[in-house]
Amino acid sequence: MAFNHSYNTAKPVMSTIETNKVLKNTYFLLAMTLAFSAVTAGISMAMNLPYFMGLVFSLIAFGVLFVVNKKADSASGVAWVFAFTGLMGAGLGPILNYYAAMPNGPLLIMQALGSTALIFFGLSAYALTTKKDFSFMGGFLTVGLIVVIIASLVNLFIGSSVTFMVINAAVVLIMSGLILFDTSRIINGGETNYIRATVALYLNVYNLFTSLLHLLGASDD
């Protein structure tokens, strides 16, 4: 990934064209991968896969993620993105089945989906219309992610439901910040590869949805 700091008069026009192309390709691929994830999640739910299989799919997906980043500049990159998001969707199936089995399960899932869509479109629209540079948030968000990961590992042994809700609330805030951060990077030329941009936004949406679902489910339980 290269950064171009040229200031000739022709560059701003070209830069705008390239930025719009990256944005268009990113949102198109994001929509396709989210739809594909929904299909694989539906298949996983229909097969009633156990929770550990969902964990296996997710672990394999993160292994594939390294391949995606390596192949992002090649023609095969798109295929690897679909492999990654398909596995992530399959890994989500058992979690969705767990919440779907609750008395208000289907409603909880729809509420989480609706809230995720509202947050994503609202923040994306804000970043696109204001064109503000949110790169200053990078350090704070990275620290936040590290804290959340450590807290999650600790809570595996503690098993505190309050800590679980606090962690997921923190993830919602961090993912919201990352949506602004990653969208801003595309707009301001910090990310010129639409495959990497798609993966970043996909993970933001995925984690935002699952954390909202956990929060809604814990509140309803």
- Does this model's pTM top 0.95? My answer is no
Q: What is the DSSP string of 4-62?
A: -----TTHHHHHHHHHHHHHHHHHHHHHHHHHHHHHHHHHHHHTT--HHHHHHHHHHHH
pLDDT score recorded for residue 220: 62
pLDDT score recorded for residue 189: 80
Is residue 99 very low, low, confident or very high in pLDDT (cuts 50, 70, 90)?
very high
Q: Is the pLDDT of residue 109 over 70?
A: yes
How far is the first Cα of the chain from the last one, in angstroms, to the nearest whole number? 46
Q: What is the pLDDT averaged over residues 151-170?
A: 91
Gyration radius (Cα) of the chain, Å: 18
CA gap 62, 70 in Å, rounded: 13
Each domain of the chain, given as residue ranges in start order, spans 11-220
Q: What is the pLDDT averaged over residues 161-184?
A: 94
Q: What is the pLDDT averaged over residues 135-140?
A: 89
Q: What is the pLDDT averaged over residues 155-170?
A: 91
Q: What is the mean pLDDT of the chain?
A: 88
pLDDT score recorded for residue 12: 40
pLDDT score recorded for residue 7: 29
